[in-house]
A and B are shown apart, each in its own frame.
Chain A
Amino acid sequence: MKCLNIVIVGVGGQGTLLTSKILAQLAKAQGYNVKVSEVHGMAQRGGSVITHVRIGAQVHAPLVAAGSADYLLAFEPLEAARAVSYLQPDGKLIVSTQRIPPMPVLSGTATYPEEPYQALLCASQAVEALDAYAIAVEAGSYRAVNLVLLGVLSRHMEFPEEAWIDAIAACVPTHTLETNRKAFMAGRKK
């Protein structure tokens, strides 16, 4: 049975979990079944993190299979490269261009690739690259990169705008709602 498959990747601490939580909340509110597979624990200390979101009438595996993601939401270019193999042949990569060098690069034992994911994509796979960090800062908080990227993703999905805002409101603390809403809209309208 067809599911909508979304893979979210980033660096531990970037707020990828909130993104998947909002997506799950939205899917549930819209009457769909949903499974989200998260990473807790060790990897959250600055390591590569990956979250799988599957939405559909019936969802079995909590993990998106390689080559079957409709969307790859990447908070960082190198992490996008690591997860490109999840995308299906006509899948779409949404990637924030802000680079976060990993420890081997910082300490000089490795170099950050010039174009980390570009060569790994096939011609039928679309890319939308944006500086979500800068947009988030403009919206009021550098922490809102996740909402900017979610805003971009929202353009590709059928759910009404109010449903997105409701899902966001259900998942973020009240005092950050306005900034998060702004960041989301900035991504959505871009």
Chain B
Amino acid sequence: MHHKNFCTSAPLQTKNPSELLLGDQAVARGAWEAGVRVVTGYPGTPSTEIAEAAAKFPEINSQWAPNEKVAMEVAYGAALAGARAMVCMKHVGMNVAADPMFTASYTGVSAGFVIAVADDPAMHSSQNEQDSRYYARAAHLPMLEPSDSQECKDFTKIAFQMSEELDSPVVIRITTRIAHARSIVEVTPREEIAVKPYEKNMAKYVMIPAMARGRHVEVEKRETALKNAVNESPLNAMELRDTAVGVITSGVSYQYVRNALPDASILKLGIVYPLPMSLIADFAMKMDRLIVIEELEGLIENDLKAAGIACEGKTLTGVQGELNVERIKHAVLGTPLPDLQTSDLPVRPPALCPGCPHRGIFHVLKKLKMNVMGDIGCYTLASLPPLSAMDACLCMGASIGMASGAERAQGKDFSKKTVAVIGDSTFIHSGITGLIDAVYGSEAITVLILDNRITGMTGHQHHPATGFDIHGNPAPMIDLEALCRGCGTEHVRVVDPLDLDETQKAIQEETARDAVSVIIARRPCALIDKTKQPPCYVDGCKNCGSCLKVGCQAIERKGDHIEINAALCTGCGMCSQVCPFHAIHRGGDSQ
């Protein structure tokens, strides 16, 4: 079988040069073309590559912020001071950044200010499936939703323009299948836009009640005007085909609908807040059956119903997970869902890498039967078998507060068998205030900071405690020990998490104290540590299986003995400390 004619019409022609870009990269490209000068954010799948791509443009001042709130404030400050600015985050990051965002809606901007947010339907890499479209409504911010990489670029440019015209931050909302889909984008040169002079305007920017009242009126005026204007916007487009079924949709769902229901008429929304209600009413009138196809919550559907426009939506598609062509065909046409035939296969969940320093910590915590208040990062993978060593994981930074709360519920003794476990990037993001609270509340909790010198889970981004910036250039390094002491923690010590005896001793001693203590478990991520050791080897195996309990992919039972996969083993030697028969030897030891 030779594939020749999969393409029936003439090959693609573009006027301008084109590039293959991820949706994330296209958002960055659009911002660059729009003359953006400042881009900041905090990593978070699927948004991370926006700031990473922006950092590659020398004209843009780019930096990782310690968290999304600071990022929002920095970008806002830049826009206030006259430079086009953008801030990037994942959906849950918007919770962290919501406080400045809601009031930035009141003050408006000087230069264009764009907020890029990436939702994660199906939770490929997230702890919840929240729908950031609610934020646009709650904060009265216009929100655009592109449906491929080209639109990611185009809409981002339009967003900057809208932001200045409307005197409002504008939100670009994408989802995983847009953010991490690569497609062809026509690129154009950058528009150089001068920094506006800094202007004081207290009535506009000092949000004390007397002035905020005046600004709230402006927000309402702006929104009323926009509610009319969106009916005329080319971003909201009617595609009239067969009128038996009309679909209102946006983002990646539009693409699925095009394949699932090729004959259906479509109203494609590029602006998802505010909705073009008269255009929608117009479209609805032309259709025999009206269906809203949207991922996550039924926001558009609810608005239609509130306006008395009959439609179907969530009763057909449901609110769980992401949509696809098959699900839409099933929902609308009743086509049976495919049988994936995978239920009998052993699963392959992600796991801690061979040589991962986190493994040592969780092995010890499990051995000591500790209660573990967990946090978010690679180390959350230790909640899976065979380690299964985490009791709770809520959101970034929550571990420390949860440990304090548990002590308040159960009493001081509870903290003698409990730890909070938090990554270095997560501690900087939102663990510091939890630690201050614990000290202030005279708790006796023990905090383990798993300092692998990087933001691991999201693909190795630097943060303020690594000593490097977003470009990989040296930067001032926050000293974690000094930071913890500065927060009032008297007992701060550093251990090597792959030295199991030392780690166990530290955990036992620190949890025994009646005061807050911090153990910094310091060893670089196995994927960035270039100092490789020779692989471990087995000699004298009794097949007891103790080493299998550490959950390392390099260790495998082969019939009556254990083998170590030399291609995967990093030689970290943790398993050699676990073997009760001393049958696992470090590669450096003589054979």
CB within 8 Å of B: which residues of A? 1-4, 11-12, 20-21, 24-25, 28, 30-48, 55-63, 65-67, 70, 78-79, 81-82, 84-85, 90, 92, 101-113, 116, 120, 126, 142, 156-158
Contacts and interface: CB of A to CB of B under 8 A. Distances in A.
Among the interface residues A31, A61, A79, A158, which one has the most CB atoms of the partner chain B within 10 A? A61
Nearest to A90: B1
B367 interface: no
Contacts of A104: 346-347, 385
Interface stretch (B107-115, B252-260, B308-316): B252-260
Q: B interface, by DSSP: helix, strand, loop or mixed?
A: loop
Given A109-B385, A157-B2, 5 more contacts: A3-B6, A25-B20, A41-B124, A85-B339, A113-B345
Nearest to B554: A106
Among the interface residues A3, A43, A62, A111, which one has the most CB atoms of the partner chain B within 10 A? A62
Given A11-B348, A37-B181, A57-B12, A65 B7 contact: no
B551 to A, nearest CB: 6
Interface in B135-188: 148, 177-178, 180-184
Interface string B35-60: 00000000001101100000000000
Contacts of B183: 33-36, 59, 62
A81 B8 contact: no
B340 interface: yes
Interface stretch (B204-212, B292-300, B350-358): B350-358
Contacts of B258: 60-61
B11 A31 contact: yes
Given A61-B325, A92-B1, A107-B549, A41 B338 contact: no
Contact of A105 (B6, B184, B325, B346): B346
Given A39-B180, A78-B346, A85-B341, A106 B6 contact: no
Nearest to B354: A46
A81 B479 CA distance: 49
A3 B555 CA distance: 42
Among the interface residues A28, A70, A109, which one has the most CB atoms of the partner chain B within 10 A? A28
Nearest to A116: B345
A110 B124 CA distance: 24
B291 interface: no
B567 interface: yes
B416 to A, nearest CB: 30
A62 B255 contact: yes
Closest 3 CB pairs of A and B: A31-B11, A41-B45, A41-B125
Contacts of B218: none
B496 interface: no
A108 B338 contact: no
B548 interface: yes
Nearest to B19: A28
Contacts of A42: 45, 124-125, 350, 457
Contacts of A142: 567
13 contacts: A2-B8, A4-B6, A35-B183, A38-B181, A40-B49, A41-B45, A41-B125, A41-B459, A42-B350, A47-B349, A57-B10, A157-B2, A157-B3
B245 interface: no
B6 A111 contact: no
Among the interface residues B1, B183, B381, which one has the most CB atoms of the partner chain A within 10 A? B183
Among the interface residues B125, B182, B344, B556, which one has the most CB atoms of the partner chain A within 10 A? B182
B178 to A, nearest CB: 8
B386 interface: yes
Nearest to A52: B181
A12 B350 contact: yes
A44 B345 contact: no
B2 A156 contact: yes
Contacts of A109: 385-386
Contacts of A20: 182
B342 interface: yes
B237 to A, nearest CB: 15
